[in-house]
């Protein structure tokens, strides 16, 4: 009996100690088993960051964008005009200029060369062609094409100036250099060998038989085709240009696209045409297609008779195309027709202004709001 008493005492002390530990364990249990704070607290910063991210919204506006070139009495570019020195009129109604830019932009250019020149004219043009590259910057791109009765597409846009020089050096633009052969899918439907008309086969569609003394070149079709090559170039970031080198002769019966249709496409895309007149166009200097396309799109026509003159023209054209003022406005006033005339004036005296002469409804800018 006496031997069991210490054992009972020890058990009683142990039980009491365990009872004292229970409150401590219960106090610590929530800390050990409570889960982490709700995920919403941890994700709050991420959600805030997402709400601050800009949303890209593209809208079609009624903003008309008009490139403008200004020259002084000596023919030099004027580059220091301010926004408040310009006035712009739409169908005779003065408009508020909503945006103004005077920055240099890279060029996307189709070099469109008449492939049916007289030999003496071709001898003047061919040596000058490589000089076109001299006026280009490393960010400019060009697409070299030729035309006669048909449009002959080149090898695509490139910024590689060595490739362009090689391509331009190989151009033989004399009418005696090769017969005019329709490209694949062209109007020729007679027998062919390797894609070319067979010996003895008629060269043209019977409906396009040339009349003696009348031009057989399809200049309007060539300009239209050149415009279509530029349609996917971003004209808000680049200047879209056609450099047209020709004697200006144009056979009306050989064109599928008439002048008005071609002009509408040029204006729709914001393309500027610069013409270099050779041969008879230089001596006659009368209103012809070269002058009309340049005049209506805000470009200029250059008349030359020597290779050295042509080389100077190319440099001036690329500089002029790259450094245009860009005026924008939202048309106001009564809209009676699809075509609207444009007029730009500057407050300084003695300035020559080159700008397109009008635009069509539906040729508005598409842009992201700032």
Q: Do 282 and 343 have their domain in common?
A: no
Q: What is the pLDDT of residue 246?
A: 93
Q: What is the pLDDT of residue 286?
A: 62
Tens digit of each residue's pLDDT, the chain (370 residues): 445 555 555 555 555 655 555 554 444 544 444 444 444 434 444 444 444 555 544 444 578 989 999 999 999 999 999 999 999 999 999 999 999 999 888 999 999 999 998 888 888 889 889 999 999 999 999 999 999 999 999 999 999 999 999 999 888 776 655 445 566 555 444 444 444 454 454 444 444 444 445 668 999 999 999 999 999 988 778 899 999 999 999 988 999 999 999 999 999 999 999 999 987 666 666 658 999 999 999 999 998 777 778 889 999 999 999 999 999 999 987 777 789 999 999 999 999 999 999 998 765 544 433 3
Q: What is the pLDDT of residue 333?
A: 74
**Tokens for 106?**
């890279």
Question: Quick one: 142 exposed, middle or buried, by C-beta within 10 A (0-12, 13-18, 19+)?
Answer: buried
**CA distance linking residue 167 with residue 106, whole number of Å:** 21
Q: Do 163 and 218 have their domain in common?
A: yes
Q: CA-based Rg of the chain, rounded to a whole angstrom? A: 36
Q: What is the pLDDT of residue 172?
A: 73
Task: Report the candidate in 366, 156, 363 with the shortest Cα–Cα distance to residue 269.
Answer: 363
In a domain, 35, yes or no: no
Q: Are strands 239-246 and 107-114 parallel, antiparallel or unpaired?
A: parallel
Apex 158 CA angle, 130 and 136, nearest 5: 50
What CATH code is carried by the domain that includes residue 260? 3.40.50.410
Range(s) of the domain holding residue 155: 106-177+204-322
**CA distance linking residue 199 with residue 192, whole number of Å:** 8
Q: What is the pLDDT of residue 170?
A: 81
Q: Do 231 and 338 have their domain in common?
A: no
**CA distance linking residue 130 with residue 162, whole number of Å:** 10
CB 159 within 8 A of CB 175: no
In a domain, 254, yes or no: yes
Q: Are strands 358-360 and 339-346 parallel, antiparallel or unpaired?
A: antiparallel
Q: Do 341 and 313 have their domain in common?
A: no
Question: Quick one: 159 exposed, middle or buried, by C-beta within 10 A (0-12, 13-18, 19+)?
Answer: middle
Q: Do 67 and 99 have their domain in common?
A: yes
- Phi, psi of 91, deg, nearest 5: 55, 40
Q: What is the pLDDT of residue 100?
A: 95
Q: Do 221 and 143 have their domain in common?
A: yes
- Long-range residue pairs from 51-60, CB within 8 A, at least 24 positions apart, any chain: 56/368, 57/368, 57/369, 58/366, 58/367, 58/368, 59/366, 59/367, 59/368, 59/369, 60/364, 60/366
Q: What is the pLDDT of residue 173?
A: 73
Q: What is the pLDDT of residue 194?
A: 44
Q: Do 314 and 369 have their domain in common?
A: no
CB 78 within 8 A of CB 71: yes
* pTM of the model as a whole: 0.73
Three-state helix/strand/coil letters over the chain: CCCHHHHHHHHHHHHHHHHHHHHHHHHHHHHHHCCCCCHHHHHHHHHHHHHHCCCCCCEECCCEEEEEEEECCCCCECCCCCHHHEEEEECCEEECEEEEECCCCCEEEEEEEECCECHHHHHHHHHHHHHHHHHCCCCCEEEEEEECCCEECCCCCECCHHHHHHHHHCCCCECCCCCCCCCCCCCCCCCEECCEECCCCCCCCHHHCCCCCCCCCCHHHHHHHHHHHCCCCCCCCCEEEEEEEECCCCCHHHCCCCHHHHHHHHHHHCCEEEEEECCHHHHHCCCCHHHHHHHHHCCCEEECCCHHHHHHHHHHHHHHHHCCEEEEECCCCCCCCCEEEEEEEECCCCCEEEECCEEECCCCCEECCC
Q: Do 208 and 335 have their domain in common?
A: no
How many folded domains does the chain comprise? 2
Q: Do 210 and 299 have their domain in common?
A: yes
What CATH code is carried by the domain that includes residue 79? 2.60.40
Q: Do 305 and 355 have their domain in common?
A: no
Q: Do 140 and 260 have their domain in common?
A: yes
Q: Do 76 and 149 have their domain in common?
A: no
């Amino acid at each position: 009996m006496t031997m069991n008493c210490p054992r009972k005492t020890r058990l009683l002390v142990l039980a009491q100690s365990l009872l004292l530990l229970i409150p401590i364990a219960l106090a610590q249990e929530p800390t050990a088993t409570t889960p982490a704070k709700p995920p919403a607290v941890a994700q709050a910063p991420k959600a805030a960051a997402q709400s601050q991210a800009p949303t890209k919204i593209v809208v079609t506006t009624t903003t008309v964008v008009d490139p403008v070139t200004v020259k002084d009495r000596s023919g030099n570019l004027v580059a220091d005009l301010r926004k408040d020195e310009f006035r712009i009129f739409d169908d005779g109604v003065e408009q508020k200029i909503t945006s103004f830019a005077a920055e240099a932009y890279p060029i996307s250019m189709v070099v469109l060369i008449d492939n049916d020149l007289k030999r003496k004219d071709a001898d003047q043009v061919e040596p000058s062609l490589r000089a076109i590259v001299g006026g280009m910057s490393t960010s400019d791109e060009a697409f070299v094409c030729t035309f006669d009765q048909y449009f002959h597409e080149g090898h695509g846009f490139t910024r590689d100036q060595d490739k362009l020089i090689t391509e331009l050096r190989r151009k033989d633009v004399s009418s005696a250099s090769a017969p005019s052969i329709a490209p694949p899918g062209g109007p020729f439907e007679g027998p062919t060998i390797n894609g070319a008309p067979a010996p003895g086969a008629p060269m043209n569609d019977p409906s396009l038989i040339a009349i003696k003394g009348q031009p057989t070149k399809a200049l309007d079709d060539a300009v239209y085709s050149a415009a279509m090559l530029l349609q996917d170039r971003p004209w808000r970031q680049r200047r879209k240009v056609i450099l047209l080198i020709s004697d200006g002769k144009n056979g009306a019966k050989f064109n599928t696209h008439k002048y008005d249709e071609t002009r509408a496409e040029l204006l729709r895309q914001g393309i500027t045409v610069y013409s270099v007149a050779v041969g008879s166009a230089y001596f006659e200097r009368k209103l012809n297609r070269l002058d009309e396309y340049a005049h209506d799109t805000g470009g200029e026509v250059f008349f030359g008779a020597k290779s050295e003159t042509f080389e100077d023209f190319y440099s001036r054209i690329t500089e002029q195309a790259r450094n245009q003022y860009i005026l924008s406005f939202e048309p106001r006033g009564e809209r009676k027709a699809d075509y609207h005339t444009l007029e730009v004036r500057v407050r300084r005296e003695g300035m020559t202004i080159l700008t397109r002469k009008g635009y069509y409804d539906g040729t508005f800018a598409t842009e992201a709001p700032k």
